[in-house]
Amino acid sequence: MSKGEPSRVLTSEQAEGNQRDVTQEQSRVVLISEGTSSLGEAIAREFARAGFRVAISGRSAERLDHVKRELENLSPEHGNPEVRILSLIMNLEHQEQVDTLVSQVIEKFGRLDALINNAEHIVKSTDLLDRNFFTDFQNVLQVNLFAATRLAQLAAPYLIRSPRGVIVNVCSFRGAATSNISNSIAKAGISMFTKTLANEFEGSKVRVVAVAPGSNTTLRTPETENVLSTSMLDEKDDTEEVANVVRFLESEEASFVHGCTIDINTSPLA
């Protein structure tokens, strides 16, 4: 060490503090809806690497099994796969299934510290005169807006008890664009829900934020890729970058980020 260079040796207090931070992160529980989408999986990886106990939901048993195995290998206790990872088959189009999701997480882990509302239902219908419009509209609202709202309601009592309760809502580019009535209304609703819910949590330690990635992240699932245009799928995939932002927003470093939507997109029209 050169003369005048500050010491990089941790004091005993700093070392204990760092260990305490690690222990706190490893005791935290995060629930990620639609954890089998490309973005959901990337978000789950970020939290598993940090030592969180991770619960994911998804509609495909095969995809759930794949993601669960990946998370188990990233988890500090990957030798005991049942300890830190919970995967739940869940179709958020069905309200009765939504109503059981949080309770299953609590039954497994006994607590909940962060909720990532990541589920998204995408439809082709863009024309109000389409005969299937209203059915599609109801399905989109159920998954993209109603399920997210219900999960927040069910999670709230546990998040309030947490030393750092956080809700991160994922809004795709469709919340700002006007190319699709159903998806745009649902995602715009999530953005306003984020602001309003943040006000409701005033005085508590719970923060509520939203992220608005582009089509190249949130829309990629086995169920929706056939709906997307070729130009959307050809865009640069920034899924990992978005997952990093979500992880940051959950952390203590983002303690003053509350009630807002963070745009993560290179397109000014998104």
Q: What are the structural domains, with CATH classification, of the chain?
A: 28-264 (3.40.50.720)
Residue 59: CA count within 13 A, CB half-sphere: 13
**What is the per-residue pLDDT for 128?**
84
**What is the per-residue pLDDT for 179?**
59
Sign of CA dihedral 156, 251, 52, 47: positive
**What is the per-residue pLDDT for 127?**
79
Q: d(Cα 140, Cα 117) in Å, to the nearest integer?
A: 14
pLDDT in tens, 18-63: 333 444 566 899 999 999 999 999 999 999 999 999 999 999 999 9
**What is the per-residue pLDDT for 48?**
94
**What is the per-residue pLDDT for 59?**
94
Amino acid occupying residue 74 = L
**What is the per-residue pLDDT for 61?**
95
Regarding pTM above 0.85, the answer is: no
Alpha-helical regions (H) of 50-128? 61-74, 95-109
**What is the per-residue pLDDT for 265?**
74
Q: Which residues pair with 263 in a beta bridge?
A: 212
pLDDT in tens, 119-151: 988 776 567 888 888 888 999 999 999 999 999
Sign of CA dihedral 137, 91, 95, 120: negative
Sign of CA dihedral 250, 254, 256, 262: negative
For the chain, which ranges sit under pLDDT 50?
1-23, 174-176, 218-224, 227-234, 270
Pair 176, 151: CB distance under 8 Å: no
